[in-house]
Amino acid sequence: MEKPLSSFDAFVIGSGPNGLAAAVALAQQGLAVKIFEAKDTVGGGTRTLELTEPGFKHDICSAVHPTAAGSPFFNTLPLHKFGLEWIHPDYPVAHPLEHGEAVIIEKSFENTLNRLGKDSKNYRKLFKEFVDSWKYLSRDAFGNLRVPNHPLSMMRLGWYGMFSSNLLSSSFFDLESTRAYFSGLSAHSIIPLENAFTASFGLILGTSVHSVGWPIAKGGSHSITQALADFFESLGGKIQLGTHIESLDEIPTGKPILFDLTPQQVVSIAEQQIPEKLRSRLLNYNYGPGTFKIDFALSEPVPWLNEECRKAGTLHLGGSMEEIARSEREVWQGIHSEKPYVLISQPSIFDDSRAPQGKHTLWSYCHVPNGSTETMEQQIINQIERYAPGFRDTIISASTMHAMDFEKYNPNYIGGDINGGAQNLKQLFGRPLLKWNPYKLPVKNLYICSSSTPPGGGVHGMCGFNAAKSVLKNEFGIKLPV
Ligand SMILES: Cc1cc2nc3c(=O)[nH]c(=O)nc-3n(C[C@H](O)[C@H](O)[C@H](O)COP(=O)(O)OP(=O)(O)OC[C@H]3O[C@@H](n4cnc5c(N)ncnc54)[C@H](O)[C@@H]3O)c2cc1C
């Protein structure tokens, strides 16, 4: 028999990695927790589906998981017992360049230094301390706003991180190739690379290559959220699928409610409860550019000109620092770049469960203006062909999603923004509101736990975990260790 809703201690709306993380953290303390999920499966931005042909499993959104594998919270959970297995590609990242050249980054820091020629000394100077201290530093970087456990390393990260990516990479590196590689990392921010603080993305992602690796999940990204959901249910948690919450009238009052949603949806669901002034502050929250994605079913691996690129899990395409910076700037100017910065993952090279024998999948996307409905299919294929001539001939079929398809697929992707809001200077720290505790909305019982809170986008569950800590402390008097 179904438990009545009134018997639950807390409710979570949305079962993305943050919603699940929050629900798990609450259930671990013995609370009865219920998740409502609009779709028929759990997972949010972490689902896998046969998008193109039977037997070809594609990660619809997230594919590469340095932040999940390095998550201070996920790493405390027995997710491997619930089917989660990480696969580390031979090389975590490659950045192909003209004439078959490429920057190849290995998980081994020392091996990478050996590849970087005259930039190796400065690469060591920039990254070594962060790589060595990442285990502890990541708790500061992904945790609540507080006095850091490792103030000196955190101050150093903050100091270098506050520069623009362009400035930091051109002052640290002499080689165009190393600058291009750093730009490819920083461009994950989806912010123009001449803006302050974009270097922080390059630093954190660049550190994670060596400290964690950039693994994929065996069987597809869905196995991350499925493992979280199964663990949650093993703790007694309940998940109600196929339930799109439209208003708080559907949930008993007086219990904490955690939104794994962005401010715009929170306002629409809790319109009655949120005072007008707060409503307009939340509606002023900014969303960033959108995404255009193509998933390919291939007859053979991508014929990268550079042989070592064939063994890389992730590739950043887009050429030099200047080219990548231009394409990211264009996106903010409302322009669909003719030569976009393209992110690639080739999971089936390392995980044979992703495609029929001998066949392959390829995951690719680029950034586009928010709300775009334009196709970038040819631009993405051209960028791949640039570094892998003959790629077109390997395509069996393809599935595309423009920015508004993303919003339709997951209402959290407003205008195709995959990070739950722009990660600009104001919203890097003040997400969704500039407050010491950004998870607690200034309304009784209401919390936000999605990537619209710190530390922002990516699969790591730390927004959810931090929000759950706030709920436990405020509503139940339970204080978890920092
Ligand atoms: C193309 C793409 C590529 C990406 N690549 C990566 C990557 O490689 N690595 C990485 O770490 N991250 C990546 N991300 C980002 C990552 O997927 C997100 O940052 C992450 O999923 C955010 O998690 P979340 O729990 O905050 O929200 P979401 O994952 O968006 O989950 C929100 C959930 O709420 C549900 N929901 C929405 N409205 C309602 C409602 N009214 N009622 C009930 N349920 C509702 C949705 O169906 C969804 O399941 C990518 C995203 C995209 C789109």
> What would the mean pLDDT of 33-52 be, rounded to a whole number?
98
Residue 265 is inside which H or E element, if any? helix 263-269
* pLDDT of res. 147: 65
Ligand 1 contacts CB of residue 38 (under 6 A)? yes
* pLDDT of res. 387: 98
Q: What is d(CA 203, CA 454) in angstroms, rounded to the nearest whole number?
A: 17
Length of the chain as a residue count:
482
pLDDT exceeding 90 applies to what percent of the chain? 91
Nearest alpha carbon, ligand 1 atom 4:
62
Q: What is d(CA 358, CA 481) in angstroms, rounded to the nearest whole number?
A: 49
pTM above 0.85, yes or no: yes
* pLDDT of res. 373: 98
Dump pLDDT digits (tens) for 74-95. 999 999 999 999 999 999 999 9
Nearest alpha carbon, ligand 1 atom 10:
458
Distance 242 CA to ligand 1 centre (A): 16
pLDDT exceeding 70 applies to what percent of the chain? 99
Dump pLDDT digits (tens) for 366-394. 999 999 999 999 999 999 999 999 999 99
Q: What is d(CA 265, CA 397) in angstroms, rounded to the nearest whole number?
A: 35
Q: Ligand 1: which atom is nearest the Cα of residue 461?
A: 25
Nearest Cα to Cα of residue 444 among 268, 278, 197: 278
* pLDDT of res. 425: 82
271: exposed, middle or buried (Cβ count in 10 Å: 0-12, 13-18, 19+): exposed
* pLDDT of res. 153: 83
Question: Which residue among 51, 59, 61 is best mutated to probe the pocket of ligand 1, counting the most ligand atoms within 8 A of its Cβ?
Answer: 61
Nearest alpha carbon, ligand 1 atom 14:
62
For 140-181, give the DSSP string.
HHHS-SSS-SSHHHHHHHHHHHTS-HHHHHHHH--SHHHHHH
Q: Which domains does the chain have, with CATH numbers?
A: 5-38+243-286+421-476 (3.50.50.60), 48-68+88-107+289-418 (3.30.519), 113-212 (no CATH)
* pLDDT of res. 145: 62
Query: 253 falls in which pLDDT band (50, 70, 90)?
Result: confident
Distance 102 CA to ligand 1 centre (A): 32
